[in-house]
Chain A
Amino acid sequence: DSGVTQTPKHLITATGQRVTLRCSPRSGDLSVYWYQQSLDQGLQFLIQYYNGEERAKGNILERFSAQQFPDLHSELNLSSLELGDSALYFCASSVGFGQFTPQHFGDGTRLSIL
């Protein structure tokens, strides 16, 4: 158990819809990262937050957004969903900023678009 909690584990929805994925980081971790894992693209970094502030952006679509709340949990919002958004979405957390510390991953949310 990594200590990173992601909900829900599975999500099935239709094209055009909007969903919210939730992540609770490990106790004491201030950084949260979101990754997308798909068969064709592999594991891709989406976005990073540190203590409520966005710190880095990767290959995140404009239809996607994220935020980190004062209690440090994070949400990834995906809107106008397309078939190609079907993937496993991982959240990871790490201790801090200013030094490189290992990222610990949750079990992921599997998103299926019908």
Chain B
Amino acid sequence: AQSVTQPDIHITVSEGASLELRCNYSYGATPYLFWYVQSPGQGLQLLLKYFSGDTLVQGIKGFEAEFKRSQSSFNLRKPSVHWSDAAEYFCAVGGGSNYKLTFGKGTLLTVNP
């Protein structure tokens, strides 16, 4: 069975600081990996995805993520956080014949001015 662990429930950073959100997955084959962001009262917006190829993927809003197969990780990074980045971030894994996504519990990001 596929699963996703986001070890950090809540992270607080200062505006302008760098950010790394952790994600570990469990999947028996080559995974399809995603990061989504959810602002209060909003749906989930796709930030970036990894299907194959280059293990460093670029997304929207200046985010990037690195796939490390040996560590079963897909951590999300941003070099300089903006106040508008405050939201909840979800890592998800998919694959197989049914294409369903399995989500982590999410990491809530607070940005201090």
Task: Please indicate the chain A residues that have their CB under 8 angstroms from the CB of B32 in the complex.
Answer: 100
Determine whether A55 belongs to the interface, using a CB cutoff of 8 Å to chain B.
yes
- How many residues does chain A have at the interface if contact means C-beta atoms less than 8 Å apart? 24
Q: Are A55 and B44 in contact (CB under 8 A)?
A: no
Within 8 A of A (CB), among B59-113: 90, 94-95, 98-106
Q: Are B46 and A45 in contact (CB under 8 A)?
A: no
List chain A positions with a Cβ less than 8 A from chain B.
Answer: 2, 4, 31, 33, 35, 42-43, 45, 48, 55-56, 58, 90, 92, 94, 97, 100, 102-108
List chain B positions with a Cβ less than 8 A from chain A.
Answer: 32, 34, 36, 41-46, 49, 51, 90, 94-95, 98-106
Nearest-Cβ distance from residue B109 to partner chain A, whole angstroms:
17
Identify which of A58, A90, A102 contacts B100 (C-beta below 8 A). A58
Task: Please indicate the chain B residues that have their CB under 8 angstroms from the CB of A31 in the complex.
Answer: 99
Interface class of chain A by DSSP: strand
Q: Are B102 and A45 in contact (CB under 8 A)?
A: yes
Q: A108 — nearest CB in chain B belongs to which residue?
A: B43
Q: Are A94 and B45 in contact (CB under 8 A)?
A: no
In this complex, the member of B49, B99, B105 whose beta carbon has the largest number of chain A beta carbons within 10 angstroms is: B99
Q: Are A45 and B100 in contact (CB under 8 A)?
A: yes
